[in-house]
Amino acid sequence: TSSDLRDLLSFTTALARKAGAVILEGSRAIQSASASDIGEKKNSVDLVTEYDVKVEELVKREIKDAYPEFQFIGEESYSAGSRAPLTDAPTFCVDPIDGTTNFVHAFPFACISIGLIDQRRPVLGVIYNPFLDHLYTGVSGQGSFLSRSGGPPERLPLGGPARPLPALSQALVAIEWGSDRKAPAITQKADSFTRLAGDPAGGVAGGRMAHSLRSLGSAALNFAMVAQGGLDMYWEIGCWPWDVCAGIVIAQEAGGFVTGSKDAPHDGNVTEAILTGRKYLVVRGIAGSEGETSLAAQQR
Ligand code: IPD
């Protein structure tokens, strides 16, 4: 019920702030080199630190104490081999540090992302960037909000409902390189970015010349920034459920449109497809057939 969701939201928000304090502490330790080695997962750009693990353990433990009957999906638990299938049961879906590369480099865009899935649909999301003290929340049917520096929650998008852009050529678009740097993935990504940014009149075939491209380095924060209204669109290949679960709710509740892999239906509610492991993702905050066509082409 909505009052259950409100209780869950206060629990999740408090938990995210607690986790945020550990992330900040970790960042200080890493910058002063008193922390142990930075680990690599599948390659030298797929990073994990002791703080990813520490924060996930904290969050998992607190969830288990407060909601013992809920299921848990977490990035680090998954990496360690704990891969329970998604069921109809309420399930927390957590990325302890989204933007680990930023975290390691002290680029202040890293966050904890906590989503709650019920009946296989994301219903609640909390994303907290402790470096900027930005707290994003979203609850299904109840809107999404940003609280800055402990201030009052402001409804998203900031400044009122977004005016739809007539064309992709007027958009600010977030993209990410992700951690798959092998051919052909890297070439496909680079080609897509070229088409997004390139000038068709200057000889770039299929160029859309969007206003520009941005990378915040965190999938969750890219979603949050689309919800906020600072980005018109975010497109990435290679996300995982914990990268997007909370962001889906926050973006949708701000009026954003979220879609998943090319196999997913374009009904704005493809979250199950994303959460069950397909890794293509589009979030958009623009309207107009040019945007649609271009994105469809990129996903081919
Ligand atoms: C990654 C970040 C990155 C995105 C990847 C994610 P992590 O998450 O969000 O920006 O490009 O797809 O997996 O590894 O920092 O938790």
For the stretch 23-33, pLDDT in tens is: 999 999 888 87
Locate the domains of the chain by residue range: 2-155, 168-298
- % residues pLDDT > 70 (the chain): 84
pLDDT tens digits, 38-70: 787 777 767 778 999 999 999 999 999 999 999
CA atoms of 191 and 183, how far apart (whole Å): 12
Percentage of the chain modeled with pLDDT above 90: 50
Question: Measured from the CA of 96, which atom of ligand 1 is nearest?
Answer: 16
- Report the SS3 class of residue 73: strand
What local confidence, expressed as pLDDT, does residue 146 receive? 98
pLDDT, residue 36, reads: 60
What pLDDT, on a 0 to 100 scale, did the predictor assign at position 283? 56
Average pLDDT in the 288-297 region?
Answer: 49
How many Cα atoms within 13 Å fall on the side-chain side of residue 228?
A: 17
Which residues make beta-bridge pairs with 145? 137, 155
**Which residue's CA lies nearest to atom 4 of ligand 1?**
178
Pocket test for ligand 1, best of 176, 180, 222 (most atoms within 8 A of CB): 176
Q: What is the pTM of this model?
A: 0.90
Are 122 and 128 spatial neighbours (Cβ–Cβ below 8 Å)? no
> Which residues contact ligand 1 via a Cβ below 6 A?
75, 95, 98-100, 176, 178, 217-219, 236, 238-240, 243
Residue nearest to atom 2 of ligand 1 (CA): 218
Q: pLDDT digit string (tens) for 153-202?
A: 999 999 888 777 777 788 888 999 988 889 988 888 888 889 889 999 99
**Do 218 and 99 contact (CB within 8 A), yes or no?**
yes
- Asked whether the beta carbons of 191 and 207 are under 8 A apart, the reply is no
Q: Are 214 and 154 in contact (CB under 8 A)?
A: no
SS3 167: coil
Between residues 20 and 292, the one the model is more confident about: 20
Given ligand 1 and candidates 94, 179, 181, which is best to mutate, with the most ligand atoms within 8 Å of its CB? 179
Instruction: Give whichever of 26-40, 163-177, 215-229, 251-265 has the largest mean pLDDT.
Output: 215-229
Domain 168-298 is of which CATH architecture? 3-Layer(aba) Sandwich (3.40)
- Angle at the Cα of 169 from the Cα atoms of 211 and 231, rounded to 5 degrees: 55
Instruction: Copy the structure tokens of residue 142.
Output: 């109840």
For ligand 1, the distance from its centroid to the CA atom of residue 75, given in whole angstroms, is: 10
Phi-psi region of 148 (alpha: psi -120 to 50; beta: other; left: phi over 0): beta
Distance 217 CA to ligand 1 centre (A): 7
Token pair for 132 = 């900027």
Domains 2-155 and 168-298 share a fold: no
> Measured in angstroms, how far is the CA atom of residue 218 from the centroid of ligand 1?
5
- The better pLDDT of the pair 64, 244 is held by 64
Residue nearest to atom 13 of ligand 1 (CA): 239
**The domain defined by 2-155 carries CATH number 3.90.1170.50:** no
